[in-house]
Structure formats: C-alpha cells, structure tokens
Amino acid sequence: MIAYETFLENLSAVRARIKAACEKAARPISDVALLPVTKTHPEQATLYAHKAGLFTVGENRVQEAAAKKQAVPELAGTLRWELVGHLQSNKAKLALETFSRIQSVDSVALAQRLNRLWLERGQTDAFAILLEVNTGEDPNKFGFQTQQTAAALEEILSTCPALRVEGLMTVAPLEGGRAVARTAFAALRELRESLQAKFKTPLPELSMGMTDDLEEAILEGSTLIRVGTALFGTR
C-alpha cells in the first residue's frame, strides 16, 4: 500500500485533471464528483479516502466490501459505500446490507429482487440504484443493451416502488482507446436525455469515466468519475 503522502499527491493530480477537463467542457467543477474505488486494496485505502475528505468509496465485490466495512468500524456512519461491480443475484441481500447505492443493476430481475428484499427489511426510504448500460457494446462487459434500457426502466419504475433510479452507469470498452470510450460516453448521455424526456423522471447521475478516460467522460457530461489506480496505485 502506498504512503498517505503519496495518495495525497495522486489525489491532487486527479483533481487537476478533473479541473482541466471541466474547463475544457465549460462545466463547473462542482458538477463532477470523484468516487475513489478501493477494490483489491486493503482497508487502509478507505481510511486514506476518509481522512482526505472523500466520504464515499466504490467497491467491485460485495464480500470484499463487507469485510472491509467490518474492519473499519470507526468509519461507521461517516463513510458511504457504493457497489460499482457486477452483482450476482445470490449476493443481493448482503449488498443491501453493505452499500448505500448499487450502480450496477443490469437486469429487471435483479432490480425486482432488490426491491423485494428491501421491502422485507421494512425500510421506509427507497434504495438508490443506477442502471448499468453497455453503450460500448463490449461483449466482455455487463449491462443493459442500449435499445433495451427504455423498456427495462419502464418495468422497474412500475414494479419496484422500493427502488429509486438515480441515473445511469457505463464502463468503456476495453479495446479502442479514448475515442471509443468517448463514443460510449456520448451514447449514455444521449440515452439519459431520451429516457428523461420519455418518462418525465429525473436521472441526474451519469457515472462514467475512470483513470484512463475521465477527461472524455467529463466532456460528455459525466457527473461521477470512478478512479482507483490513479489514486491508490496498481493492484
């Protein structure tokens, strides 16, 4: 694990990149939030983030996040956890116990399972989710196909009252570089605009952009950048 001082240097560099991209896009920097992704790093990474004033972290695996959360009880109530990786249906219950928001809902069936489990918990507030969309049409990625998303959202809105859809998420294709990534990000923004118009429902969050393509994501309207390597080093 890198030293905290190195993490702060990395954080400063990432924030400078975000600032430059926002200036190029003529967007206020306040429009773009930074989500530090601590996956495969020890719980010390979450302590670094919290100490630096980043009070939400992203994790890819449910059980890894649950174990880390137990390992840092001093952060309970002051640190939020978000799932950004694929969620298997059989881990839905633990996911609801662990995370404040799930960004990677990629099927109606999964949404309905989360809805049922949340209702069984007797919660009064809706649970926040994002719909993951495979706008880059990468066969190695999870997510709704772009053309399927409207029908999926309609069904989720009508059958999952315990869930609150706050926006969309995508992961750029592994191949093709920044140009392909930007095309995928533009497609997510355009999809969000069409869904908001069709269903008259706000979808404020566009979670897209990581270490290698955050500039392209910001240019295409990202509201949430998910960064791991640039902050914590290689895994």
Q: Is residue 200 part of a domain?
A: yes
- Given this model, what pLDDT does residue 5 score? 98
Q: Is residue 87 part of a domain?
A: yes
The total domain count for the chain is: 1
Are residues 223 and 33 in contact, defined by beta-carbon separation less than 8 angstroms? yes
Are residues 162 and 115 in contact, defined by beta-carbon separation less than 8 angstroms? yes
- What residues make up the domain containing 197? 4-228
CATH number at residue 52: 3.20.20.10
- Given this model, what pLDDT does residue 140 score? 85
Q: Which run of H or E residues covers position 104? A: strand 101-105
- Given this model, what pLDDT does residue 122 score? 92
Q: Is residue 234 part of a domain?
A: no
- Given this model, what pLDDT does residue 220 score? 98
- Given this model, what pLDDT does residue 174 score? 82
Q: Is residue 235 part of a domain?
A: no
Q: Is residue 122 part of a domain?
A: yes
Measured CA to CA, the distance from residue 118 to residue 159 in angstroms comes to: 13
Are residues 178 and 154 in contact, defined by beta-carbon separation less than 8 angstroms? no
pLDDT, averaged per 10 consecutive residues of the chain (235 residues), comes to 97 98 98 97 96 98 96 95 97 98 98 98 95 93 96 98 98 90 98 98 97 97 98 90
Q: Which residues of 181-213 are buried (b: 16+ CB within 10 A; e: fewer)?
A: bbbbbbbbbebbeebeeeeeeebebbbbbbeeb
